[in-house]
């Protein structure tokens, strides 16, 4: 099998797996217990919190562990609405956000919150000027993803952070696709809230990160004990948290090497695919993108058909976000770029990761070319 859907999830790294394993067996203590078995678990969580803080330029006290990015996104958005429930609340986001942000905003709208959904250009990029023009006296939060999960476009986070800091407006970024893949300094970027998920950078599924700038308050997500500084009660997923910290530390240590390798794989794929199928379109090609994500539109073939035929050849790619798979609707991200419904449905996403090789990329290119030729021949 050749796995090229790393934007959906990644294989856990050997380092992360080996470090989490003892906390599933020998070191299985509850981190809230006072005896040595519990103390070992608590120390492991402290160490992971430090690893995360170093990786994103934060302080350990600013890190809260969650079950993943979706939980953390919902927590931030709902908390802001709750914190200002006695006054008018306006939130700004983009039209290409992850569904955990968009659907949370839709629910907030039903409860009286005003939400502005900013458009993007043909490369999927939000305009800083559009953010500025959308701000109202009631604007309490701006939530713009760091980089898009379908086309890889990196947003102008530094410029948005500077603008919002000057205006005293809170800034949240969904960095699920970027943490561990490109350098991030939350303080330097003037980010107030950042969310991430371990399984996107070779950690274990079921663990995530919420960065909350020191001095900001959020109501508890879960009431109960004092876990996670009283913000998220319940016995911690120690093994998952340990894997998260180790995987992120490892990813950041190799970030330059991995970025160069993934960029090479993408460029080889683009070059060879264009030679074989000149009529394809690379979405977001003319802008700054994550190194491993490639969105390709084919003019005469269903993306779903290509995906299934590749699957029969042992190759895993996707047609859109994994959170939208199984639905017979075109990607909201691709429609926001200006693609027609037909073009959006004729698109696949290839997302390379640390375990992919040039040989695998060559096989993917060859398989796509073969599959596409067969589909077009039967039209």
Active site residues: 323
Tell me if 9 sits within 8 A of 200, measured CB to CB.
yes
Closest CA to 19 of 249, 228, 356: 249
Closest CA to 296 of 368, 232, 194: 368
Counting every residue, how long is the chain? 379
For residue 133, give the H/E element and its range.
Answer: helix 128-134
> Which residues lie across from 318 on neighbouring strands?
349
- Locate 149 and state its tokens: 């999960």
Closest CA to 141 of 175, 90, 191: 90
Burial class (CB in 10 A: 0-12, 13-18, 19+), 296: buried
Closest CA to 40 of 21, 32, 234, 250: 32
Cα distance between residue 9 and residue 205, in whole Å: 8
């Amino acid at each position: 099998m050749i796995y090229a859907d790393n934007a959906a999830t990644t294989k856990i790294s050997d380092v992360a797996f080996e470090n989490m394993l003892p906390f599933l067996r020998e070191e299985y203590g509850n981190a809230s217990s006072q005896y040595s078995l519990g103390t070992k678990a608590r120390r492991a969580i402290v160490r992971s919190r430090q690893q995360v803080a170093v990786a994103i330029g934060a302080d350990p006290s600013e890190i809260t562990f969650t079950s993943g990015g979706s939980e953390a996104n919902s927590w931030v958005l709902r908390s802001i609405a709750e914190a200002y429930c006695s006054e008018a609340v306006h939130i700004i986001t983009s039209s290409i956000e992850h569904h955990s942000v968009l659907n949370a905003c839709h629910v907030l709208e039903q409860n009286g919150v005003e939400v502005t959904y900013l458009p993007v250009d043909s490369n999927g990029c939000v305009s800083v000027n559009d953010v500025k023009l959308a701000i109202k006296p009631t604007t309490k939060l701006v939530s713009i993803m760091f980089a898009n999960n379908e086309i890889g476009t990196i947003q102008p986070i530094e410029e948005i952070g500077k603008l919002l800091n000057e205006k005293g407006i809170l800034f949240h970024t969904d960095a699920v696709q970027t943490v561990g893949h490109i350098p991030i300094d939350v303080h330097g970027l003037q980010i107030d809230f950042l969310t991430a998920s371990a399984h996107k950078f070779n950690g274990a599924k079921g663990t995530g990160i919420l960065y909350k700038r020191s001095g900001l308050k959020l109501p508890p997500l879960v009431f109960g004990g004092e876990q996670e500084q009283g913000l998220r009660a319940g016995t911690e997923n120690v093994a998952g948290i340990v894997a998260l910290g180790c995987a992120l530390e490892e990813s950041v240590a190799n970030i330059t090497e991995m970025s160069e390798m993934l960029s090479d794989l993408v460029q080889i794929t683009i070059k060879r695919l264009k030679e074989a199928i000149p009529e394809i379109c690379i979405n977001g090609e003319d802008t700054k993108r994550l190194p491993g994500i490639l969105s390709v539109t084919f003019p005469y073939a269903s993306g779903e058909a290509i995906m299934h035929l590749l699957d029969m050849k042992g190759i895993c790619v996707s047609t859109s976000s994994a959170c939208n798979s199984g639905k017979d609707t075109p990607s909201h991200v691709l429609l926001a770029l200006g693609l027609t419904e037909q073009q959006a449905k004729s698109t696949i996403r290839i997302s390379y990761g640390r375990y992919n090789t040039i040989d695998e990329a060559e096989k993917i290119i060859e398989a796509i070319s073969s599959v596409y030729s067969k589909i077009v021949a039967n039209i």
